[in-house]
Amino acid sequence: MTRSKWMIVIVVLLLVAMVPVLVMAQGGERTGTVKLVRGERAQPVTDVPKGTVALTGPKAVLPQAPTQKLGLAPAETHFRVREGFEASWPNGPWDTFDNNGALGGDVCWDDENWIAFRGDWSGWPAGGCADGLDPNLFYYPDDMDSWATIGPFSTEPADAGHLTFRYWNNSEEGWDYFLWCASVDNIDYYCDYHTGYTNNRWRIGRLNLNNVPGYGSMLGYPEVWIAFVFQSDFINFVGYDGPFVDNVHLRVRR
């Protein structure tokens, strides 16, 4: 081969070698579990390799109490929240707040009508409090530590507690985290998280209070909290829409 042909071969080989890099640059995502202490940023401890989607296992089968298995008693609901963000929010047991003070302004969750799994409205972590934005016009800001909580509620008489919800996310992968968590002291929260892009799809998020990641069972406690958290770092080089949450269903029963 002539020298110029060798050059072409080398260039082609280099381009082929770059394909995985180019593919990975196009909006990957990661999920995992992490312990989150209120007032601190999450330090993810387990990572799924970039581009691997491992969000949820097979559909959870709700465990039944012995009496139910025998057909003696129907399930008894002790605490239930259904939220589709189509009416006034926050309401009832919900609370929302900015957890890092003046840093990044005063930003918390609110109901918004930019995108929804069902209806027209969903929850968004940058829409509420004094410096809240409209997702129809803005991306999420930097330095966020935005919380939406349900609770406290009791699980003392409960045999089962399940949280399910839908979420859509586009956040800066590896830097800006959407987390869903549970706590028995409102300080240490145990969470699953998503960072990156859900490819314009709504995913199912789950939390089983009988098997909270990193903790174990949170059944049998006088006070339990659920939290949806979004944390962004100090910079984005391009704009991201962030996480939207819809069809939240929490049920604690025996």
Give 84 or 213: the residue with its C-beta nearer to Ca ion: 84
Q: How far apart are CA 99 and CA 178, in angstroms?
A: 14
Residues numbered 65 to 84 that lie near Ca ion (CB under 5 A) are 84
Query: Which alpha helices (DSSP H) does 27-184 contain, by range?
Result: 66-69
Query: Which alpha helices (DSSP H) does the chain contain, by range?
Result: 3-25, 66-69
Q: How far apart are CA 178 and CA 242, in angstroms?
A: 8
Q: How far apart are CA 198 and CA 102, in angstroms?
A: 30
Q: How far apart are CA 178 and CA 196, in angstroms?
A: 9
Smallest distance, Ca ion to C-beta of residue 2, A: 49
Smallest distance, Ca ion to C-beta of residue 222, A: 30
Within 10 angstroms of residue 3's Cβ, the number of other Cβ atoms is: 6
Total residue count of the chain as it appears in this document: 254
User: How many residues form the binding site for Ca ion (CB under 5 A)?
Assistant: 17
Say which amino acid occupies 124: W
When binding is defined by CB under 5 A, the residue of 29, 111, 173, 246 that contacts Ca ion is 246
When binding is defined by CB under 5 A, the residue of 36, 108, 116, 245 that contacts Ca ion is 116
When binding is defined by CB under 5 A, the residue of 32, 44, 85, 219 that contacts Ca ion is 85
When binding is defined by CB under 5 A, the residue of 28, 32, 104, 128 that contacts Ca ion is 104
Residues numbered 154 to 193 that lie near Ca ion (CB under 5 A) are 172, 175-176
Smallest distance, Ca ion to C-beta of residue 147, A: 11
When binding is defined by CB under 5 A, the residue of 96, 100, 195, 231 that contacts Ca ion is 100
Q: How far apart are CA 160 and CA 75, in angstroms?
A: 10
Which residues form the interface with Ca ion (CB under 5 A)?
Answer: 84-85, 98, 100, 103-104, 116, 118-119, 121, 172, 175-176, 232-233, 236, 246
